[in-house]
Amino acid sequence: MLASLCLFVGALVGAVVLTGALGIDFARTSRATAIALCAIVAVLGISAVREQRYRPKRQRRPEFSGERLLNKSIALGAGCTMILVVASLQAVLGATVASTFLSDLVFVWVLLPILIPSYVLTTERLAGGEEDALSSAGAALRGKRSWNTSEHKQLLLAWLVKAFFLPLMYGNLVLVLEQWLALTWPAHPTTWFVWFATGALAVDLLVATSGYLATGPLFRREIRSVDDSWSGWIVCLICYAPFYQYVKLVTEQRDELIWSDWLQPDQMLYWIWAAMLVLSWTVYWLSSIAFGLRFSNLTYRGLVDYGPYRYTKHPAYISKNIYWWLHTVPFVGVVSTSDVIANIAGLSAVGLIYYFRAKTEERHLMRFPEYVEYARRIEQRSLRFKLRQWLSRRARAAT
């Protein structure tokens, strides 16, 4: 947990310092892009080197196979094409952050014919060469074997997850960094909070972007399973652009007042409210840090049972919803009872969506024995379980 915190925060701070020290007169947008790319490269580079350092030594170097190299390169090329297609559709449907992803990384798309085989060769050399789902899919795409949908379903779903979320996470990372760079040095308590929350969100998005990129054997964070249920995908995707704009028609608040418009620093409640906001946002932020390079929606990449996840199965969802209620104060600033009801109903609807997300995720993860054991431990620590035990003891004592 501490190592992940230092990695992501250090990479972002280092990128900010580096771009500032270069002496280049960046526009705010281009500097945000430079910071994002530098931080991503630093995270992935350090993580790959660290994983290779602790990887068990092989007795002999794996035998090179040109056929396997070609198969994997074709499959990776098909996956990258899927990312381009999905990102383009997102941009057409109004997700401007996907346009940022496409424009910022245009040089990557041009170099893909060189980068993909180079990546495969590096992976074969460092992580070991073997026939896997990627090489099998590549052989099928070449017509060297028959295509089997059930065999390749998990690989297709994994690439679809990456294709949908990677453009959004990267584009939002650049957008948040632009907002963070635009902030003046904090001189007011509320500005300090905005500065902290925006910076923490940038770290959160760096974790997410890196997680969607680090799915190969170089990082030993391979995707073990992807949720293949319609309900799991629907409740997840509606939380993100371009679909969330339609959800907002129901959930959007009737007023624009936030907590800092309601309270002022000379009030004791202001500081109590600010402390609760910082606490809830910190829990959310640390929940992402706990995942590290395992971060990915709709997938299982290994059990995370430390950090905030030591105490509850869904700390990110709980803390995020608490933060939204505290930040928007739905019961203040409205002119009618119907607006208050609409505000509360909107936030409740968001909470309900995240409740269903939690339940569909649990249904998927309960396929794994280690998660079943983890869920049992969390249940035994819960207040509900302890209350039930106490009531049971009281009932036995009464009889």
387 pLDDT above the threshold of 90: no
Tokens describing residue 311: 């105490």
Rounded mean pLDDT of the chain? 90
Closest CA to 284 of 239, 321, 325, 327: 321
Read off the pLDDT of residues 298-319 as tens digits, 9 standing for 90 and up.
999 999 999 999 999 999 999 9
Read off the pLDDT of residues 74-102 as tens digits, 9 standing for 90 and up.
999 999 999 999 999 999 998 999 999 99
329 pLDDT band, cuts 50/70/90, is very high
Q: Are 91 and 98 in contact (CB under 8 A)?
A: yes
341 pLDDT above the threshold of 80: yes
**H/E stretch holding 201:** helix 189-213
Tokens describing residue 154: 């998990």
For residues 187-215, give the mean pLDDT.
Answer: 93
- Name the residue with tokens 């990129």: 213
Q: Are 299 and 223 in contact (CB under 8 A)?
A: yes
Nearest-angstrom CA–CA distance, 117 and 121: 6
Nearest-angstrom CA–CA distance, 396 and 389: 11
